[in-house]
Amino acid sequence: MELTTVWFGLITVLWIGYFCLEGFDFGVGMLLPVLAKDDTERRVMINTIGPVWDGNEVWLLVAGGATFAAFPEWYATLFSGFYLPLLLILVALIVRNLAFEYRGKRDDATWRRRWDAAIIGGSFLPSLLWGVAFANILRGVPIGADKEYAGGFFNLLNPYALVGGLTTLLLFLTHGAVFLALKTEGPIRHEARSLGARLGVPTAVVAVVFLVWTQILTGTLASAVAFALAAVLLLAGLASLLAGREGRAFAGTFAAIAVAVAGLFLALFPDVMPTTLADGVSLTTTNAAATAYTLKVMTIVAVIFTPVVLAYQAWTYWVFRRRIGVHHIPVAPAAVEGPAAPAARG
């Protein structure tokens, strides 16, 4: 197998990890105004992701770095053509991260409300725009013979891409609700389980529409199998949620997102960014790749350090595996409260 194919596969795995892990904490952030009745319940929800949200974002950083190193032409065209949506995502993530760190620095209701709004908006915008961005990559964008993006921002706001954005938004909401049902106890747990079941139907419908549309546009036999399996896994997860089996439900939504993302990359391969112009040039794993020596060095580094990173993140999830509830939250917030501190007591 060529190293270009290996690195396309590794980048696929990195995006799978990002969407599966960051997906549920985006969902938790968006559900703050829906499931939390007061500040204590909001703190419970935030603390479910407090120990892990920053680790989840590492998958995005590594995916971007791997793309830059392994497929520099892809990276250059993607980040120049999608500059505005990617900038909006970056700003939203920065504001969201600041909100997690600064929300508890002052014992003031207005202060906390404003940072809560930052968490909600900083979770909503990336959830929508990641789907829009990936849908455009699959559909193809105007790339000229010089391998440069030849379109504008509004070329990205086509019906297919908007359905893609709605798909990731609903998937992350459902994934987040299931995660909260798994990680909390008391009223939040029961309300999250109920909400996840209600969200499941529209999520499944929109996801199936998007995956079928993708299959018609650019699908292969392998992607068709992956999309069908993803639909089955999502339905199985929702059925488990209705039965009160939150662990199996979370495994179902997690696996559904993972297999669906894998199917999207299978539908894209061997392209990495197809063109819609008759006289344009599609970027592929061959013509967008770095030199063979670069790929060899990167492969050695990945083989050494990837297991270490995976082991550390798995250990983090294991340490903070217990459920938390309002009784784990101190009556008065600490002067330097951080999002992970109360979770460690749970």
Strands (E) in the chain, as ranges, are 271-273, 283-284
- In this structure, are residues 178 and 253 in contact, taking their beta carbons and an 8 Å threshold? yes
| Structure token pair of residue 196 | 């996840």
Q: Distance (Å, rounded) from C-alpha 296 to C-alpha 310?
A: 21
pLDDT computed for residue 107 by the predictor: 86
pLDDT computed for residue 104 by the predictor: 87
pLDDT computed for residue 243 by the predictor: 92
- In this structure, are residues 109 and 58 in contact, taking their beta carbons and an 8 Å threshold? no
DSSP string over 166-207 = HHHHHHHHHHHHHHHHHHB-SHHHHHHHHHHHHHHHHHHHHH
pLDDT computed for residue 339 by the predictor: 53
DSSP string over 185-196 = -SHHHHHHHHHH
- In this structure, are residues 236 and 168 in contact, taking their beta carbons and an 8 Å threshold? no
pTM for this structure? 0.91
pLDDT computed for residue 166 by the predictor: 97
For the chain, the domains span 3-345
The angle at the Cα of 214, spanning 79 to 281, to the nearest 5 degrees, equals 45
26: closest CA among 210, 169, 197, 222? 169
- Exposure pattern of 54-68 as b/e (b: 16+ CB <10 Å)? eebbbbbebbbebbe
- In this structure, are residues 139 and 275 in contact, taking their beta carbons and an 8 Å threshold? no
Per-residue confidence in pLDDT tens, the chain, 346 aa = 689 999 999 999 999 999 999 999 999 999 999 999 999 999 999 999 999 998 999 999 999 999 999 999 999 999 888 999 999 999 999 999 999 999 988 888 999 999 999 999 999 999 999 999 999 999 999 998 888 888 777 888 899 999 999 999 999 999 999 999 999 999 999 999 999 999 999 999 999 999 999 999 999 999 999 999 999 999 999 999 999 999 999 999 999 999 999 999 999 999 999 999 988 899 999 999 999 999 999 999 999 988 988 998 899 999 998 999 988 888 754 444 445 444 433 3
Q: Distance (Å, rounded) from C-alpha 51 to C-alpha 47?
A: 7
- In this structure, are residues 325 and 188 in contact, taking their beta carbons and an 8 Å threshold? yes
pLDDT computed for residue 323 by the predictor: 93
| Structure token pair of residue 138 | 């699959």
Q: Distance (Å, rounded) from C-alpha 192 to C-alpha 276?
A: 42
The DSSP secondary-structure symbol of 340 reads T
The angle at the Cα of 132, spanning 130 to 181, to the nearest 5 degrees, equals 50
222: closest CA among 268, 282, 255, 271? 268
Strands (E) in 179-243, as ranges, are none
271 beta partners: 284
- Which three-class secondary structure state does DSSP give residue 9? helix
Largest CA distance in the chain: 66
CB count within 10 Å of CB 2 equals 12
N-to-C CA span, the chain: 47
- In this structure, are residues 232 and 207 in contact, taking their beta carbons and an 8 Å threshold? no
pLDDT computed for residue 1 by the predictor: 66
Is the Cα dihedral 167, 170, 176, 181 positive or negative?
Answer: negative
Residue type, 25: D
